[in-house]
Amino acid sequence: MIEENPTTGQTALDPNEIDGLIPSHIMTRAELDRLEHDNIVDALDWLDRRKPKDVLDELFLRRLHQRMFGEVWRWAGSYRQSDKNLGITFHQIPVQVSQLLDNVKYWLEQQTYPPDEIAVRFHHHLVSIHPFSNGNGRHARVMADLLLERRLDQPMFTWGRGDLASIGEVRRVYIEALKAADGLDYAKLLEFVRS
């Protein structure tokens, strides 16, 4: 039933992860998209009420993923347990995530980069680690926006003002910009997030 294409920048789920699907009636990708979308809307409500001060806390990072996907996937909020076409080897995830959070705290203290670049680098590093089996893009976009809003005192990114979830021009530009960032060139991503 649910298949994903690695060339579109999405992570394919393995059978164990599909076992983690909570609603038993899902037959199509569209139904799944809809359930995830509703779950994320509730999570954003929760975030508005909660206003976490410490966005750069590992427990919060996981709890946010749990809130965004926890009605759909049993493994929401837990790091992945297998390797993917994207991301680091899964054993390294806890260490790399906490190192990234420490690095970002240091960039904030030292003002190593301009504010947008701190948030862009954070976003890109987080999706590159790819801590979860799915939902990494959506989760890491919210994390970057929270960092901007709560720690950098900047407006959230516009992320191309398009539907990033579906395969189209906006997503193509986003994935291209991430690939440039993989090669340490952040210019395209910096431009994209404010376009």
Interface with ligand ATP by CB under 6 A: which residues?
A: 9-11, 86, 127-128, 134-138, 164-165, 175, 178-179, 182
Q: Residue 131 touches which of Mg ion, ligand ATP, none (CB < 5 to 8 A by kind)? A: none
**Residue at 149: amino acid letter:** E
* Binding residue for Mg ion, selected from 9, 10, 96, 148, defined by CB under 5 A: 10
Q: Minimum distance between the CB of residue 109 and ligand ATP, rounded to whole angstroms?
A: 26
* Binding residue for Mg ion, selected from 134, 141, 145, 147, defined by CB under 5 A: 134
For CA atoms 106, 109, 113, 118, give the dihedral sign.
Answer: positive
Span of 8-16, 64-72, 155-163, 166-174 interacting with Mg ion by CB under 5 A: 8-16
Dist CA 191 CA 140 (whole Å): 17
Long-range contacts formed by 35-39: CB under 8 A, 24+ apart: 35/71, 35/72, 36/69, 36/72, 36/135, 38/71, 39/68, 39/69, 39/70, 39/71, 39/72
Q: Residue 136 touches which of Mg ion, ligand ATP, none (CB < 5 to 8 A by kind)? A: ligand ATP
- Interface residue list for Mg ion (CB under 5 A): 10, 134
